C-alpha cells in the first residue's frame, strides 16, 4: 500500500525533462490492509464459495462485498474458483479485494467479469503474488469469436492500487481504467492471445502511476487513451506484444502531461505509436524516454492517418511538445519499416517535436530510413521553423549509429501463444527492464502488503 508515495517520490531521478509531466499528487489507497482487516474480513468461503473449480463464485463474491464495502477486506483464499456470473462491485469505501486464489471463467456472457465502480480507498492484490484470473479466451477465439468478456474494469475509482496479480487469456481486453484518479498499478503479468482485441492495460484517467508490468499479447501493451492527464508509465516489459501506444485518438482529444520511461519491447508491433485519423483536440507535454527495442516491426511511430480506424471529422488532433529521448536497440527490417516514422496531419502539422539521443539499427539488410511528414521540431528528418506547411521527407541511413547496441531480457519469448490453445498463467517476474529492480518488492515473501 503506497498512499504516502507522492509526486516527488515518483519524479526522483527522472531528470529535468520530466518535471512538466509528473504526477499531480499522491497515488494509492488511503488505508492500510491491516487497518481494513481489523475492521472486517469477509471470506468468500463463508458466503457459499467453494474452491472446487465448479461452484460459481459470482454470488458469494457479491455477498461478501456487500458486507465489507463500507470498510474491510473481501478475501478469496488460495484455491481454484469457477466464475460463471459476473460481478458489479459498486460504491465501496475503504475496502480491499484480496485475491489469493485463481478465478477461472466458466460463463459466456460479454461485459466484464469483475467490474469495480464508484469506489474510493480501494486495493486489489494477492498477498502471495499468485492470485490470478484465467479467461480461457481461446475457447472463443478458436471459433473466431472476439466478443467475449473483459477480465477486469475499473470505473470512477479513486485512491486505489492493483498489484501482484496475473491476468491470462482474456476473451477481450484484459484490464481497463476509465475515469479513475490517484491510482497505482504495479507488479503484474498479463498474457493473452496473439491477435488484436487483447489489450493489456488501457487507461483514460488522471494521476495514475503504472510500473513494473509484463504484457504478452498482440495488441496494446500499456496504452493511454483520451481523456487522460498526469500519467506516469515506467519499467514496462512488452514481451511479444502489440507494444505501447496512445490512442486511437478522435474527436475532442484531451491528453496531457504523460511520461513513459524504461520501456522494453521485444518482437512486438511497435515500441510506441501515437495513432489517429482526423479528429480534433490536443495531445501535449509528452516524454517518451529510455526505450529499448528488439525485433519490432515499427519503432518510433506517429500515424495521423491510421488506416485501422475510420476517418473522424476534423483537421486532425494537435500534437505539441512531444519528446523522444534515449532510444536504443534494433528493429526487424529498417528497409521495410524505418525506425522513425513521423506522419503528422497535413492540415494540422505536429509542433515542438524533439527526437534526440536516438540510436537504432536494422536486424535485416544494410540500410534503414527515417520518414517525416508535416512534423516540426528538432532531430532526425523533422523540419524547423514556424511556417507549419505540409511536407514529406524521407532519408536513407546506410551506417549503423554508434551506441545502438542494447541489452536483452532473459525471459524474452521465442514464440507467441497463438489463439486456439490453452495459455498458461504466468509467474510475475522480478525484473521488467534490463538491469532494473522493481520499484516495489513482490508480496510473495519479499515484501509486505
Question: Catalytic positions, please?
Answer: 219, 294
Q: How many angstroms separate the CA atoms of 447 and 317, rounded?
A: 44
CA dist 286 and 231 (Å) reads 10
Q: How far apart are the first and last CA of the chain?
A: 6
Handedness of CA 260, 262, 266, 271 (dihedral sign): positive
Handedness of CA 145, 150, 156, 161 (dihedral sign): negative
Burial class (CB in 10 A: 0-12, 13-18, 19+), 386: exposed
Look up residue 178 and give its three cell numbers. Answer: 476509465
Q: How many angstroms from the chain centroid is the CA of residue 117?
A: 20
Q: Residue holding cell 515506467? A: 234
Q: Which of 300, 311, 226, 229 is nearest to 265 (CA)?
A: 300
CA distances in angstroms from 425 to 103, 190, 200, 340, listed in the order given:
11, 9, 14, 35
Q: Max alpha carbon distance in the chain (Å)?
A: 69
* 389-428 CB burial, b ≥16 within 10 A, e <16: eebeeeeebeebeeebebeebebeeeebbebeeebebbeb
Instruction: Look at the alpha carbons of 142, 144, 147, 152 in this order and tell me if their dihedral is positive or negative.
Output: positive
Beta bridge partners of 259: 232, 287
Supply φ then ψ for residue 424, to 5 degrees: -70, 150
Q: Are 120 and 156 in contact (CB under 8 A)?
A: no
Q: 342 pairs with which residues across the strands?
A: 302, 372
Amino acid at each position: 500500500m503506497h498512499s504516502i508515495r507522492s509526486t516527488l517520490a515518483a519524479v526522483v531521478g527522472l531528470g529535468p525533462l520530466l518535471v512538466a509531466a509528473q504526477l499531480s499528487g499522491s497515488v494509492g489507497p488511503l488505508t492500510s490492509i491491516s487497518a481494513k482487516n481489523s475492521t472486517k474480513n469477509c471470506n468468500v468461503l463463508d458466503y457459499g464459495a467453494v474452491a472446487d473449480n465448479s461452484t460459481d463464485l459470482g454470488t458469494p463474491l457479491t455477498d461478501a462485498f456487500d458486507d465489507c464495502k463500507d470498510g474491510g477486506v473481501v478475501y478469496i483464499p488460495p484455491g481454484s474458483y469457477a466464475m460463471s456470473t459476473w460481478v458489479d462491485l459498486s460504491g465501496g469505501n475503504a475496502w480491499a479485494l484480496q485475491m489469493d486464489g485463481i478465478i477461472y471463467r466458466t460463463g459466456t456472457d460479454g461485459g466484464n467479469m469483475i467490474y469495480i465502480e464508484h469506489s474510493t480507498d480501494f486495493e486489489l492484490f494477492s498477498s502471495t503474488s499468485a492470485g490470478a484470473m484465467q479467461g480461457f479466451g481461446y475457447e472463443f477465439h478458436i471459433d473466431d469469436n472476439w466478443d467475449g468478456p473483459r477480465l477486469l474494469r475499473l470505473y470512477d475509482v479513486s485512491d486505489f492500487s492493483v498489484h501482484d496479480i496475473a491476468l491470462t487469456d482474456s476473451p477481450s481486453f484484459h484490464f481497463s481504467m476509465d475515469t479513475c484518479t490517484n491510482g497505482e498499478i504495479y507488479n503484474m503479468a498479463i498474457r493473452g492471445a496473439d491477435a488484436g482485441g487483447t489489450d493489456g492495460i488501457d487507461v483514460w484517467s488522471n494521476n495514475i502511476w503504472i510500473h513494473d508490468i509484463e504484457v504478452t499479447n498482440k495488441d496494446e501493451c500499456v496504452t493511454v487513451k483520451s481523456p487522460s492527464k498526469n500519467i506516469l508509465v515506467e519499467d514496462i516489459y512488452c514481451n511479444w506484444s502489440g507494444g505501447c501506444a496512445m490512442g486511437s485518438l478522435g474527436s475532442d482529444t484531451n491528453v496531457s502531461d504523460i511520461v513513459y520511461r524504461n520501456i522494453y519491447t521485444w518482437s512486438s508491433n511497435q515500441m510506441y505509436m501515437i495513432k489517429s485519423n482526423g479528429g480534433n483536440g490536443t495531445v501535449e507535454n509528452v516524454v517518451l524516454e529510455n526505450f529499448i527495442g528488439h525485433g519490432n516491426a515499427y519503432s518510433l511511430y506517429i500515424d495521423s492517418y491510421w488506416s485501422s480506424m475510420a476517418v473522424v471529422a476534423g483537421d486532425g488532433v494537435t500534437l505539441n511538445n512531444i519528446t523522444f529521448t534515449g532510444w536504443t536497440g534494433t528493429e526487424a527490417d529498417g528497409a521495410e519499416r524505418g525506425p522513425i516514422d513521423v506522419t503528422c496531419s497535413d492540415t494540422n502539422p505536429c509542433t515542438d517535436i524533439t527526437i534526440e539521443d536516438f540510436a537504432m539499427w536494422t536486424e535485416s539488410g544494410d540500410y534503414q530510413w527515417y520518414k517525416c511528414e508535416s512534423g516540426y521540431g528538432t532531430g532526425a528528418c523533422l523540419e524547423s521553423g514556424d511556417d507549419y506547411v505540409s511536407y514529406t521527407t524521407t532519408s536513407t541511413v546506410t551506417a549503423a549509429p554508434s551506441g545502438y547496441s542494447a541489452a536483452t531480457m532473459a525471459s524474452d519469448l521465442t514464440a507467441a501463444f497463438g489463439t486456439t490453445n490453452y495459455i498458461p498463467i504466468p509467474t510475475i517476474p522480478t525484473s521488467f527492464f534490463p538491469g532494473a529492480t522493481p520499484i516495489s518488492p513482490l508480496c510473495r515473501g519479499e515484501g509486505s502488503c
